[in-house]
Amino acid sequence: MTVIQSNQKIAIVDDEAELAEATGWEVEDAGYEPFLVVKGHFTNVNDLASVILENTQGAICDNRLTNSGLANFSGAELVATLYDLKFPSLLISQFVEIDTSFSIRKWRQKIPVLLSRDKANASSITKGIEACQQELSGHLPISRKPSRTLVRIVDLDQASNEPVVDAIIPGWNPDKAVRFPASLIPETIQSDALRKGVRLFAHVNIGADNADDLYFDKFELAPEPDDDDGLA
């Protein structure tokens, strides 16, 4: 695992140079050296990940990297790729509420820290890097630990021309629906699962305080509910 220390380089990946520079000031205030990645065109997420690993010890990635042609993938996918490489990375976005349900949720399990851009300051960056390093070393906080829990589908919709699911997770909040990409559900069960009223089991971090922090993994069909089994 890459360990970040003071004065080491943090990559700032953003397709808007002015925003990258503003983030760079906060990185400097946090005691690190910013390394801006704002030019080029990356079609393969692993190529950009290699540039980051070769030049820095950590990364802060904006989620929307396609608008100006920096990459044809999202910052969320990039952070998830770096996560698999045990490389501490933060995801920031000024569109958290818009992007969470789809482009971010798809990779949320491998994004330890998501910051709204207006909260990406020296303090939150420092704390975020520490949280990343803790998780990559195997120490997950309660808010990030998965639990096998019931997921009940209440609606199906479209977002960015791809299907999304609205679901209730009783073990997290029985009164609030959460949206996630239908592609998270394995293709082998989608024909049975993608219907209103269907109950599934999934691994979800139900200790999360906010819906934006929820991730979903390992879906399976739940048995038909029975009046006495607590699933009805």
Average the pLDDT over 184-190 and give the result.
Answer: 97
pLDDT band of 11, cuts 50, 70, 90 = very high
| CA–CA gap between residue 52 and residue 35 (Å, rounded) | 9
pLDDT of residue 158: 82
Number of domains in the chain: 2
Give the phi and the psi of residue 25 in degrees, each rounded to 5.
-65, -40
Q: What type of residue sits at position 159?
A: A
CATH code, 210: 2.40.50
| CA–CA gap between residue 210 and residue 1 (Å, rounded) | 28
Q: Which of 4-13, 27-36, 104-113 has the lowest mean pLDDT?
A: 4-13
| CA–CA gap between residue 65 and residue 17 (Å, rounded) | 12
115 lies in the same domain as 45: yes
DSSP structure class, residue 223:
P
The per-residue pLDDT for range 103-160, each reduced to its tens digit, is 999 999 999 999 999 999 999 999 999 999 999 999 999 999 999 999 999 999 987 6
Average the pLDDT over 1-14 and give the result.
Answer: 83
* Host domain of residue 187: 143-221
Strand extents, DSSP E, the chain: 9-13, 33-37, 58-62, 89-93, 114-116, 147-159, 162-169, 173-181, 199-204, 216-221
115 lies in the same domain as 213: no
Q: Is the pLDDT assigned to residue 232 strictly greater than 70?
A: no
pLDDT of residue 161: 77
Provide CB contacts within 8 A for 202, sequence distance 6+.
148, 149, 151, 216, 217, 218, 219, 220
Q: Which of 136, 154, 188 is the last residue of a domain?
A: 136
Based on DSSP, count helices (H) and strands (E) in the chain, helices before strands.
6, 10
121 lies in the same domain as 46: yes
pLDDT band of 91, cuts 50, 70, 90 = very high
The per-residue pLDDT for range 205-216, each reduced to its tens digit, is 999 999 999 999
Q: Is the pLDDT assigned to residue 223 strictly greater than 60?
A: yes
Residue 4 belongs to some domain of the structure: no
Residue with token string 């998830």: 80
The average confidence (pLDDT) of the chain is: 94
pLDDT of residue 230: 55
